[in-house]
Amino acid sequence: MLRIALCQLTSSADPAENLTLIRDWTAKAAGEGARVVVFPEAAMARFGVRLAPLAEPVDGPWASAVGEIAREHDVLVVAGMFTPDGERVRNTLLITGLGEHRGYDKIHLYDAFGFRESDTVAGGSEVVTVDVDGVTLGVATCYDVRFPELFQALAKAGSSAVLLPTSWGAGEGKRDQWEVLVRARALDSGNWVLGCGQADPKAAGVEVNPKAPTGIGFSTVADPFGRVHAQLGAAPELLVTDIDPSVAEKSRTATGVLANRRLG
């Protein structure tokens, strides 16, 4: 078993304030025995503000401070941040602690539902995994969940679970799509999928740009058979769950989703 905490919070526009949130929530999660502590996409600063002036490299002061927090509590922290890329930024997941300090750059950019992430964000291309206590974890970000080939590539790279930080856009049917997609990616890759979202700002009384994807809550953990293992509501909350990596192999044997692939 591997114990993983999902920190469903509402980020502000201030990286320093959000660093305090990460420090407090990591301490709480570690106190409940988590070895991996996951924060949402845009944990460094929420969407709906200018990102380029806030961006820092993964060896910059903000990410280094998160690394210190992870080392202090002997956990792996995964948190969404923004790193520089010319006039644009990269939507990066910081992966730090337990001897790691690197990033995953979001591959699929959210040019959908009237939002154009690619106007300000450059996409990545590298599939990334990390090992914790003998368990291989893949990482993906938000809109990536609509692309099953990424989750199958992570499974082929040895993952038993995928950590999925997100800042989901609100709108008609979007909560239903979120749950369906998390469960589908779990089933069609034979991975645990742990979707950690930004809480719904309205649930915390926070005013945000209504046109920006700033979260709906409902962080969801699906097992490799596509069943909902745990789920939160809309408000800020900590979810701590144990995952059994052996279930991934059982699912892949039963469904044949990797062995029987013919395309891709």
Query: Of 7, 56, 117, 142, which residue is the catalytic one?
Result: 142
Tell me, yes or no, if 41 is annotated catalytic: yes
For residue 251, give the amino acid letter: S
CB 43 within 8 A of CB 80: yes
Tell me, yes or no, if 142 is annotated catalytic: yes
Tell me, yes or no, if 106 is annotated catalytic: yes
CB 6 within 8 A of CB 238: yes
CB 148 within 8 A of CB 190: no
Question: Between the CA of residue 139 and those of 3, 93, 160, 200, 229, what are the distances in Å?
Answer: 16, 8, 11, 23, 19
Query: Of 7, 56, 106, 117, which residue is the catalytic one?
Result: 106
Structure tokens at 213: 């994807």
Query: Of 41, 56, 117, 196, which residue is the catalytic one?
Result: 41
CB 56 within 8 A of CB 62: yes
Q: Around Cβ 242, how many Cβ atoms within 10 Å?
A: 12
Instruction: Give the catalytic positions in this structure.
Output: 41, 106, 142
